[in-house]
Amino acid sequence: MTGAANAWGAESAMYTHRLHGREQNLLGGHAALAQGSAAIVLSIGGAKKIRGSADPNEDSVGFAEAEGGTLLVVADGHWGRDAAEVVVDRVLSRRAPEWTAKTADALSADWPSLAVEALVDAHAAIVEHVARGGSPDARTTLALALLRPDQDLLAYAAAADSSVFRVGETDAVELAPGSREVTIFLGTPGTPEDALRGSFVVGTERLAGTRAVVVVSDGFTEAGIGVESPPLTLLEIADRTQHLDPEARSLEVARSTVDQALEAHRRHGGGDNVASAAVWVTRVP
């Protein structure tokens, strides 16, 4: 962590938190962290995985916050936890300082190119990790959301099938990944850069009218494993959460999202790792 939770200034410009899969391996349990306006929760799952995996928990999740905004990041590793850890660390270290800074006024116009470059760089980080002796099979999804209330901006991006949801007053909408026919995981060797860039989902929305933003791995969304209706589940969670004290809301959204996934895993008789990052929106001009 860099900086303090409740004071901004030269010595407290940004703080970050992350949870990696190696830190949570108790079936049916979860790990949680919250500070400021954001919270993250990570679980190995509510039941044993339907599909085999190299490591028990291959998801990673993190957030960064500074005076200008909050960045949420989720990665769902494949064939090991390495790639998810690498890209979460890469985004938080290389992108978060600029994106959450008070002075980053041009993000709305520049977001498409900035987001694509960040995802391409995350892919390159995995390739570099493999070249240094990391697992040659390392692959991952990556989804991120950036909230900048003073600019009324919600910016998002995703590679492969982790998701970004915007929860409003009467509905919840999956902004990314949405419906796509092609899924390219970050770290896949030999992927042409044009194909990689063309596989990303990138966009912006107004933040006004948003109650919560949730970034989550497919342990919550996947049919036959996760909840039956992710948007409806998140809307119900928001309805229950809005009556809590403001400082408890983000953690409750992130935790309830994971808890609902774990219940679904038990009902289905098989599960998956699940990571959730959430912000309850309380300040939009």
Cis peptide before 192 (omega within 30 of 0): no
CA dihedral 240, 143, 177, 76 (to 10 degrees): -90
Q: Does residue 148 surpass a pLDDT of 60?
A: yes
Residue 224's CB: how many other CB atoms inside 10 A?
9
Q: What is the pLDDT of residues 185-196, one digit of tens each?
A: 999 989 999 999
Q: What does DSSP assign to residue 226?
A: S
Q: Does residue 183 surpass a pLDDT of 90?
A: no
For the chain, what is the total number of helices (H) and then of strands (E)? 7, 13
What is the pLDDT at residue 7?
35
Structural domains in the chain plus CATH codes? 14-280 (3.60.40.10)
Helix axes 246-268, 230-241, angle to 10 degrees: 140
What is the pLDDT at residue 181?
65
Q: What is the pLDDT of residues 23-51, one digit of tens each?
A: 999 999 999 999 999 999 999 999 999 87
| Mean per-residue pLDDT, 85-107 | 92
